[in-house]
Amino acid sequence: MRPSTLYQACERIRGGEPVWKAVAEVLDVFYSAPDAAARLAVICDEPERTGDERSDALMAAAAEYLARQHRLGEVPSWTSDPTRRLREPWFTTSVDSPGIQEFLAFSSPAEFRSRNIFTEERPLRRASERTAEIAEEALRAPAP
C-alpha cells in the first residue's frame, strides 16, 4: 500500500523500501492533495528515524521545503530538531566534481543547505521516472 504521509514513508524505509521510492510516492500524494490543510497533513507528523542520518535529514528538509514553497501556513516543528542536520556535507550527485559541488552549494534551497544537504535548485518536483532515478542515484552516492 502506498504511503500517504511522510511518517508512513519512513516506516516503509525502515522496512527496507528504497528511500527514493517512498519519497516519490509521498510527493504524489502531497501534490494531489486538494488544499493546504490536506498537504500539511501529509508532512506534519514527525517520522521515526530511519536509521540513516542522510534520510532523516532529508525528511526534515523536504517537509520544511514543501511547507514553505506551498505556503501551508506553518512548518512542522519537528523539522527544527538539530539532530536532523548532517555533520558533513552531502552532495546529492554521483559525480565527484568540484564544479558540480560548487553549483549545488550555490543552487540548493535554504531548507536543504541549512541541513548540510546540497541538491538541485528545485528538488522534490512531482515524481517521475527520471526524478526517481536521480533520487536513487543521489542516495547511492558514497558517503563523505
Residue 61 resides in a domain: yes
What integer pLDDT is reported at residue 95 of this predicted model? Answer: 82
Contact 39, 33 (CB under 8 A): yes
Residue 114 resides in a domain: yes
Q: How many domains does the chain have?
A: 1
Residue 35 resides in a domain: yes
**3-state per-residue secondary structure call for 64-85:** HHHHHHCCCCCCCHHHHCHHHC
* HSE (side-chain half, CA atoms, 13 Å) at 88: 7
Domain hosting 28: range is 6-75+85-140
The predicted-structure confidence for 43-65, as pLDDT tens digits, reads as follows 999 999 999 999 999 999 999 99
Helix (H/G/I), strand (E/B), else coil: 135: helix
What integer pLDDT is reported at residue 113 of this predicted model? Answer: 96
CA distance 109 to 107: 6
105 or 142, which is more confident: 105
The predicted-structure confidence for 60-111, as pLDDT tens digits, reads as follows 999 999 999 999 999 999 999 999 999 999 998 878 888 988 989 999 999 9
Residue 124 resides in a domain: yes
pLDDT band at 124 (very low <50, low <70, confident <90, very high): confident
Residue 68 resides in a domain: yes
Selection from 31, 28, 23, 21 nearest residue 6 by Cα: 23
Measure the CA dihedral 39/68/81/87, to 10°: 120
The helix (H) or strand (E) run that includes residue 29 is helix 19-32
Phi/psi for 64 (5° steps) reads: -65, -45
Grid cell for residue 3:
504511503
Residue 80 resides in a domain: no
Residue 1 resides in a domain: no
What integer pLDDT is reported at residue 130 of this predicted model? Answer: 47
